[in-house]
A and B are shown apart, each in its own frame.
Chain A
Amino acid sequence: MFYSIYTFLVEEAFFYVFSFFCIAIIFRLAYFTLHSLQNDPIVLKFFNLKYALRSLINWTIPFKARNMRLNPITFFVSYLFHICIILVPIFYSGHIFILEEYIDLPFEPPMLPDILSDVLTFLALVSGIFLLLRRIIYPPARYVSSSKDFGLLLLVLIPFLTGFLAVRGIGGDFLLFLHVLSAELLLLILPFTRIMHMFLGLFSRSYTGSEFGAIRHAKDW
């Protein structure tokens, strides 16, 4: 029975979940853009591409911003965490093989060597646990963290944990099933949670960068 549900999850369900995920994100981003036209025209009036990019670039370069230098460990681990959780799901060979079963890709898709995928997954788990512990131990983070923040981080880590174990043959089909289920669940709720910071963060950074660069003639990093 597991097998049939698993096939359903991987085939049809994934198609719907992923489409929903993309559409929901586009809607959310469009909502903010259109909302600003009507309710906050200042945002687009003062948007400045040059300074938005300046801010984004300076905040992408590791340890360029002063805050990164003040908190090197936190930022190092965050970088690691984000790199791992973005690279592995997209470029893990197993995922690409499944994709190729259903879609003829016109190009040779880039893949991570399996050993690297393993290492990155492990690092994602370790860094994720670090961020979780940081929320408990570091007083400022604890002060603003709610149960939702912990739950969300755990929800992000579950597909990585189950995937990591499933690849090792631990837990058998059940774990594989759990892996797919948790990942799809995550995709479904992601557009409505703080994980949207991956897109919305670009918006707020760009706007602040525009203000700081074009109006205030100052650096914002």
Chain B
Amino acid sequence: MKRELAQDIGLREGIKRIDRGKIKKAIDLLFTKKAETRLKLYTSTCIHCGLCAEACHFYMSHKDPSYMPIAKVQNTIWKLLKEGANVNNQDLALIAQIAYTECNLCRRCSMYCPFGIDIAYQMAMVRRFCHLIGVTPQYIQDTAHSHAATMNQMWVKEDEWIDSVQWQEEEAREELPYLRIPLEKYEADVFYSVIGPEPKFRSQLIYQAAVIMNVAGVNWTMPATPGWDNSDMAMYVGDYELMGRLKKIHFETALRLKCKKIVMGECGHAFRSVYDTGTRWLGWKEPPLPIIHAVQFYYELFKAGKIKVGKTYPKKVTFHDPCNIVRGRGLQEMARTVVKAFCPDFVEMHPNREHNYCCSAGGGVINCGPPYKKTRVKGNKVKAEQLKRTEAEVVIAPCHNCHGGLEDIIHHYGLNMEIKFLGDIIYECMDKSTHPEE
């Protein structure tokens, strides 16, 4: 394994403050004495066959075995099991670097392992270990700090949130004079939550969602208090205690407003956190109220005839299946139904659906910031080739992380493609002439 430690103050300073007692405690808790059964089972079952290699975009791009899924387990968990608390500082920093920046937790490899060994789970455990000993990349740790202080990912203050929403409402009323973004409305059918970056730098998405909601005549609301942000970098840092707080305030806000269901914006990791990881951490088998992703919500509106095709989208499009909503929730066909209705010139990328290659930004990798941009872009040449083969002009990716990741890949490999959210396409092409109250 040839890896250089990145210029990341979080890792470089983190290892200087190492406490061996903490390391021992963390190893006991996560990998040995109190380890979860799954971790023990996976360690005992893996027969070291290397058949997971072709599942990972990092391996497929570099063809270097040290990037294959099980190699990452070998260089992290197995190393910790072998060396225990005596593992040297440099190795600890590299362990963190592998777990945070060379694995997107996309879970594609568990579909390629003959035994279904969940390597993403194991990498998440390594991240939890790194969190417990205090060696984490600075950028993603900062988003976790933001979560802890403000209950959102981007240091958005309470008044700034309300301001952003009302600003988008005002803007959108120029287009649809009857439009409202109802804040703090009780007993609405839909509690709409977004991720921190939407009010921060993608506010047009709130505008577009508002237009779709209003044209479709949905009885909806957004909260004016913390709890509006459904995102969860704490989950990817390994800070599960904080993850629990985030999910709790999100659910409680929806329940305080007595809403019937939560609809989440087009974000993948937040969806994974809300319906799966975070819910489980709070001890619920199922979320306390129904939660659906925007893709499913748009599909249901479309099927109910509440959003209609006004004009078809003129360009050749392809669809990128985000891991957290496709491999994580099977929304691939719903997404395709909507995409195909609006975009007659649709072409599949291969492999697709559950087998799609990851964007290499998810799993918190893009949130680890500039020191690792090259790692994820060069580690996903295979995605660039996959996109290029489609010859499409536009790639639709209903996930924020995928957007960031694909944008970098498209620029780096000179692909000349546009990236759109599903909401972008619907907003642009839907029939907005029908006023639902008329």
- Which residues of A pack against B, CB within 8 Å? 32, 35-36, 39-40, 42-43, 45-46, 55, 59, 65-67, 70-71, 74, 138-146, 149, 194, 196-197, 200-201, 203-205, 207-209, 211-212, 215-221
Interface residue? B303 (CB, 8 A): no
With beta carbons under 8 angstroms apart, the residue of A35, A55, A144 that contacts B50 is A144
Number of cross-chain contacts by CB at 8 Å: 136
- Chain B contacts of A194 at CB under 8 A? 44-48
Give CA–CA (A157, B295) in the complex, Å: 53
Residues B53 and A140 in contact, CB atoms below 8 Å apart: yes
- Interface of A, helix, strand, loop or mixed by DSSP: helix
Partner of B285, one of A45, A138, A197, A209: A45
Whether the pair A218, B115 counts as a contact (CB closer than 8 A) is no
Q: Are A67 and B115 in contact (CB under 8 A)?
A: no
Q: In the complex, what distance in Å separates the CA atom of A142 from the CA atom of B68? A: 12
User: Can you add 8 more A-B contacts, CB < 8 Å, to A141-B50, A143-B50, A216-B330?
Assistant: A32-B37, A55-B116, A140-B59, A140-B65, A207-B116, A211-B118, A212-B110, A218-B330
Q: Is the CB of B74 within 8 A of A144?
A: yes
B51 within 8 A of A: yes
Q: In the complex the two chains form, what is the Cα distance from A147 to B41 in whole Å?
A: 21
Minimum Cβ distance to chain A for residue B107 (Å): 8
- Of the candidates A46, A66, A139, A221, the one whose C-beta lies within 8 Å of that of B351 is A66
Q: Which of B87-95, B321-329, B389-397 contacts A (4 or more CB under 8 A)?
A: B321-329
Which A residues are CB-close (under 8 A) to B139?
Answer: none
- Complex alpha-carbon distance, A218 and B325, angstroms: 10
Shortest CB-to-CB span from B349 to chain A, Å, is 15
Is B66 in the interface zone, CB < 8 Å from A?
yes
Residue in B51, B59, B116 whose beta carbon sits within 8 Å of that of A204 in the complex = B116
List of 6 A-B pairs having minimum Cβ-Cβ separation, nearest first: A217-B330, A208-B116, A140-B50, A143-B65, A141-B50, A140-B53
CB pair A200 B41 closer than 8 Å: yes
- A197 and B111 contacting across the interface, CB-CB below 8 Å: no
- The CB with the most chain B CB atoms within 10 A, among A43, A212, A219, is that of A212
Query: B330, A208: Cβ atoms under 8 Å?
Result: no
The answer to whether B354 and A218 touch across the interface, beta carbons within 8 angstroms, is: yes
Enumerate chain B residues within 8 angstroms of A35, measured Cβ to Cβ.
37, 40
Q: How far is the CA of A66 from the CA of B51 in the complex (A)?
A: 12
Cα A39 to Cα B37 in complex, Å, equals 6
What are the residues of chain A within 8 A of B355 when measuring CB–CB?
66
Q: Once bound together, how far apart are the Cα atoms of A109 and B87, in whole Å?
A: 55
- In the bound complex, residues from chain A placing their C-beta under 8 Å from that of B110 are 208, 212, 220
Interface string of B293-334 (1 = CB under 8 A from A): 000000000000000000000000000000000111111000
Q: Closest approach, in angstroms, between the C-beta of A10 and any C-beta of chain B? A: 31
- Do B45 and A196 have beta carbons less than 8 Å apart? yes
Contacts of B352-368 to chain A: CB distance below 8 A: 354-355
Chain A residues lying within 8 Å of B41, measured Cβ to Cβ, are: 32, 200, 203-204
Q: Is the CB of A204 within 8 A of B285?
A: no
Of all chain B residues, the one with the shortest Cβ separation from A55 is: B116
Q: How far is the CB of A97 from chain B (nearest CB, A)?
A: 33
Within 8 Å by CB of B51, from A43, A67, A196, lies: A67
Considering the chains assembled together, what is the distance between the CA atoms of A142 and B7 in angstroms? 31
